[in-house]
Amino acid sequence: MSKLVTVSLKAGHFLLPSYKAKQPFGLIPCLEDADLTVFESRAIARYLAEKYEGQGTPLLGKTLKERAIINQWADSEAQNFQPATGPMVREAFVAAFGIRPVDEEVVAAGMKKLDQVLDVCEAHLAKGTKYLAGDDFSLADLFHTVYMNWMKSARPELLEKRPHLSAWIHDITTRPAFLRCLQLDWENASPIQ
């Protein structure tokens, strides 16, 4: 039986020695499954997709070609999209927690990189696929979902000139499983034991 334990960023639960024993970098997330502990969100997602393959939405692809295309776009998220959006999202959290004002130079640099990445995604989606790796939702789309959701609310102007990207973001961010995740009360989480 799996159990979801939420971790409060505001309370600093991820800095506790008991958490860092599981996730040595003190970052979120971390998965414990029986005698296995896995950290890094992409590794966790891949593990769960493989463990539950054949149940629910297939995320890995059925053929070598499908898996290669999924992996290509999944790696593109890690190498292109996240490096552009990650620093901007961190700046938003820093400001939200009152640590310091937003560093506008970081945001401007991120916006410049992000604009280029989004142009590539728009051109790709304009070719007629519903999702990044084809007509089926996959890990490639899943990896983009959280930051794309942030972007559509924090930077909606980036979507105005990109109708294919906008439709794709709407699709991936309104999936029932993702909407359930958004309803979790992360900030009122119990301390980690």
Task: Give the right CATH number for 64-178 from 1.20.1050.10, 3.40.50.150, 3.90.1150.10, 3.30.930.10.
Answer: 1.20.1050.10
pLDDT tens, 119-178? 999 999 999 999 999 999 999 999 999 999 988 988 899 888 999 999 999 999 999 989
Q: Where in the chain is the domain with CATH 3.40.30.10?
A: 13-56
Q: Where in the chain is the domain with CATH 1.20.1050.10?
A: 64-178
- What superfamily does domain 13-56 belong to in CATH? Glutaredoxin (3.40.30.10)
pLDDT tens, 148-159? 998 898 889 988
- Cis bond before residue 83 (omega within 30° of 0): no
The pLDDT value given to residue 12:
79
Q: What pTM was estimated for this model as a whole?
A: 0.86
